[in-house]
Structure 1
């Protein structure tokens, strides 16, 4: 097995001048400043008082899961000679918070909308989704179930 390294720089931007002197003295904001890439401005979950206009860790996890699935889908579709013309996903994740305040994801559903040409074997196109969990880095790393509810448009 070959190991791979991934890195990012996360920089807290929420110091209002007092640092973490008290719980309400600071903002839960940060930037992802990976060298050579655009900065991503982030906040915590809006349920915890975060800025709903900024990405939060939960957004980024479900987006990473969806993107990894999409990239593998496109690869496997190409191998199967299925010419995907368009793909977008509106994934939905469900989480829970217990009495202590600890949270976790319970499940996610990927809901890709895929456009394929006339004559495409839609059963084969759909079956690809169930192969991806064997190879997708993110899907193989999460500890909650991931379901698929794909819809196809034939154009």
Structure 2
């Protein structure tokens, strides 16, 4: 039987320069994410939409969440399969589009993990684990665009 659970956060707009949204260019597209018991994350809109390129934007956060969820399930399933992961690094790429009216969406994402496993471990099994992750990953199971992967491996 499935169990439901809640995730909570507080999003607080921090971009009021003194006159709110009186004019389109008169406010910043910045906010904070406050999750109970965790450090505040300062964010901004995509630079294409007037945001601060030095801060994470919603698209960055979604792609990072997708990658992190995949990684955590990979580590778990590798451990269960007897694969010893020594290092895991991902450089994911999300492809988005923006329509003329400004609406945007992700078209696809490709995860590109580089995984170092213990010498002698089964690299075919290490690769096969990726095919099972989509059965479990909360984020991948929740998005409406295709997620693929292009993993590379090394041994140590």
Gaps (5+ residues) in structure 1?
none
Deviation of the 1:35 alpha carbon: 2.2
The 4+ residue runs of structure 1 with deviation greater than 2 A are: none
CA distance in 1, matches of 2:72, 2:17: 40
Match of 2:94 in 1: 93
TM-score (norm 1): 0.98
CA distance in 2, matches of 1:46, 1:18: 22
- Please provide the CA RMSD for this pair: 0.6
CA distance in 1, matches of 2:125, 2:12: 44
Say whether 1:69 aligns with 2:70.
yes
CA distance in 1, matches of 2:38, 2:119: 38
Count of matched residue pairs: 155
Q: What secondary structure, in the 3-state scheme, does the structure 2 residue paired with 1:87 have?
A: strand
Q: What secondary structure, in the 3-state scheme, does the structure 2 residue paired with 1:109 have?
A: strand
TM-score (norm 2): 0.98
Gaps (5+ residues) in structure 2?
none
Superimposed CA distance per residue, residues 59-112 of structure 1 (whole angstroms, 9 cap, x where no aligned partner): 000000000000000000000000000001010000001111100000000000
CA distance in 2, matches of 1:5, 1:17: 35
